[in-house]
């Protein structure tokens, strides 16, 4: 009988080589230089989301002064950047800091098992040769750091539409975009009203015969200049680094102000947003297509750089239809009001499938973890699960703001444990008055579909998620790591 090879051991094992994973590697190198770490990446390249998505017009829905890393200034003139530029930024960060040499590609993590007796995680990854063959390899680590994003990479969400197989044209989901798709001169229907749909419509409208955005209900859409002229001016006067941090903080504070304003005075905020749409589209346009049933920031606002969506609507290269789908037909989509939209191509921009920790099976001392029965600690750890952190960004601001703070906190935690000779840390709720609440207070479909599988948040700190960058700076950068809730041994 062949003896299985001994597992490689690392102090920290990072899962995922996207925006978060590369950031985690950088912070570990800077603040925990004695820690040996590795990054396991299921795909064959760096980039995560920014390599996976290839649909026309792919871009950030946050400005790059806050989506960029705190330690690497964004210097491109475009503040609202396209996907390839962001991918280049992430890969450049990895190469400049030697993080790319710590990555094992085609290693899809399937299972992580914690042993309290050994104070170790055993991580099993499926290693692919790229030619269809694969095997299971094992690693051990003292600390597991999940940077695998928040959605399922294999497939996006696509509702079951009646008559789906009757349509004689091509049906595409943005998460699986075929690079050979030719839509020049074609009639295109994009189903959806979120960030992906408002990106696709103006991009495809440049060459398509016509693009229709078919939405069941409207979203809030806000136009913003693609370039930040103040940032460009500050760069000339003070250099990249100072300009970056000044604009970063300006955008953070403005974002927090408008979020609070929207929460406290939703009707006034709504009038402001709709006023902007009226200015962009003119008084004759039916504003109902941009007037949602929900309050601002109950879902994310959709950002359109330089108002490109509105421009394509004004020029009649695109249009918006609000209605519910009855069924697909051989030549398009029939709505419940009896009208029909002709289509050569249908794009189902119907959303993501939320997935915690990339779908990895987690066991603690032989028992499988049900994350729905755990509580989220400081937006990064889970009750009664030792030595495990996963990165999750803000719902009302840029992902990387929370990612950077999480990485800083992990380094503080590791250094504290080393100084005090601890091998394990585990958040444990000792307050019986804490009420369990949904972890995300968002009405978006992708969130609502997944809530039953997600951990809970608590009604008090440190179990409460405030979605507030300034608050988290105080709590994560300067707050105690030994807070009475985290158990060390």
Q: What is the pLDDT along the chain (489 residues), one digit of tens a residue?
A: 344 567 899 999 999 999 999 999 999 999 999 999 999 999 999 999 999 999 999 999 889 999 999 999 999 989 999 999 999 999 999 999 999 999 999 999 999 999 999 999 999 999 987 677 888 999 999 999 999 988 888 888 888 899 989 999 999 999 999 999 999 999 999 999 999 999 999 999 999 999 999 999 999 999 999 998 999 999 999 999 999 999 999 999 998 898 889 889 999 999 999 999 999 999 889 889 999 988 888 878 899 999 999 999 999 999 999 999 999 999 999 999 999 999 999 999 998 888 888 899 999 999 999 999 999 999 999 999 999 999 988 888 889 999 999 999 999 999 999 999 999 999 999 888 998 888 777 666 767 777 778 888 899 889 998 888 988 998 899 989 999 899 999
Query: How far is 231 from 26, CA to CA, in rounded Å?
Result: 25
149's CB contacts (< 8 A; 6+ apart) are: 16, 18, 20, 48, 49, 358
Query: How far is 44 from 46, CA to CA, in rounded Å?
Result: 7
Cβ(74)–Cβ(46) under 8 Å? Answer: no
Query: How far is 378 from 370, CA to CA, in rounded Å?
Result: 19
Query: How far is 280 from 170, CA to CA, in rounded Å?
Result: 32
Query: How far is 58 from 213, CA to CA, in rounded Å?
Result: 16
What secondary structure letter does DSSP report for 4? P
Q: Model-level pTM?
A: 0.92
Nearest alpha-carbon partner for 15 in 138, 129, 132, 104: 104
Question: Which pLDDT score is estimated for 2?
Answer: 40
Query: In terms of DSSP bridges, do strands 376-377 and 381-382 run parallel, antiparallel, or are they unpaired?
Result: antiparallel
Query: How far is 464 from 462, CA to CA, in rounded Å?
Result: 6
The helix (run of H) or strand (run of E) holding residue 52 is helix 49-52
Cβ(472)–Cβ(393) under 8 Å? Answer: no
């Amino acid at each position: 009988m062949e003896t299985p090879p001994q597992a490689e051991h690392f102090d920290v094992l990072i899962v995922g080589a996207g925006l978060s994973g590369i950031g985690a590697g950088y912070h570990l190198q800077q603040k925990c230089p004695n820690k040996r770490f590795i990054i396991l990446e299921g795909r064959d390249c760096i980039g995560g989301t920014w390599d996976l998505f290839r649909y026309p017009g792919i871009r950030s829905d946050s400005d790059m002064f806050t989506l960029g890393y705190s330690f690497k200034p964004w210097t491109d003139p475009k503040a609202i950047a396209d996907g390839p530029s962001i991918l280049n930024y992430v890969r450049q960060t990895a190469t400049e800091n030697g993080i790319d040499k710590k990555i094992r590609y085609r290693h899809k993590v399937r299972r992580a098992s914690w042993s309290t007796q050994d104070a170790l995680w055993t991580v099993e990854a499926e290693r692919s040769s790229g030619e269809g063959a694969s095997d299971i390899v094992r690693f051990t680590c003292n600390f597991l750091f999940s940077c695998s994003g928040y959605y399922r990479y294999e497939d996006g969400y696509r509702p079951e539409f009646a008559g789906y197989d009757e349509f004689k044209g091509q049906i595409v989901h943005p998460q699986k975009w075929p690079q050979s798709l030719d839509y020049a001169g074609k009639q295109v229907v994009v189903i959806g009203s979120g960030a992906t749909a408002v990106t696709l419509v103006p991009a495809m409208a440049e060459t398509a015969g016509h693009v229709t955005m078919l939405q069941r209900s409207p979203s809030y859409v806000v136009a913003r200049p693609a370039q930040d002229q103040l940032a460009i001016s500050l760069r000339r006067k003070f250099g990249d680094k100072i300009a970056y941090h000044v604009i970063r903080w300006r955008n953070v504070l403005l974002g927090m102000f408008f979020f609070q304003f929207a929460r406290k005075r939703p009707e006034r905020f709504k009038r402001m947003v709709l006023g902007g749409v009226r200015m962009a589209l003119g008084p004759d346009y039916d504003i109902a297509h941009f007037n949602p049933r929900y309050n601002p920031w109950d879902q994310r606002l959709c950002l359109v750089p330089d108002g490109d969506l509105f421009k394509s609507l004004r020029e009649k290269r695109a249009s918006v239809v609000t209605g519910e789908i009855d069924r697909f037909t051989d030549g398009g989509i029939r709505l419940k009001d009896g009208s029909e939209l002709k289509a050569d191509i249908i794009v189902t921009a119907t959303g993501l499938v939320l997935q915690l920790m990339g779908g990895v099976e987690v066991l603690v001392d032989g028992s499988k973890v049900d994350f729905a029965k755990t509580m989220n600690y400081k937006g990064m750890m889970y009750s009664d699960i030792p030595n495990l952190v996963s990165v999750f960004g803000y719902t009302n601001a840029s992902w990387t703001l929370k990612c950077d703070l999480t990485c800083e906190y992990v380094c503080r935690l590791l250094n504290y444990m080393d100084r005090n000779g601890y091998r394990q840390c585990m958040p444990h709720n000792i307050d019986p008055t804490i009420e369990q609440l949904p972890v995300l207070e968002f009405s978006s479909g992708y969130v609502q579909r997944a809530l039953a599988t997600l951990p809970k948040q608590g009604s008090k700190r440190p179990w409460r998620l405030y979605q507030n960058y300034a608050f988290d700076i105080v709590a994560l950068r300067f707050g105690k790591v030994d807070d009475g809730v985290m158990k060390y041994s």
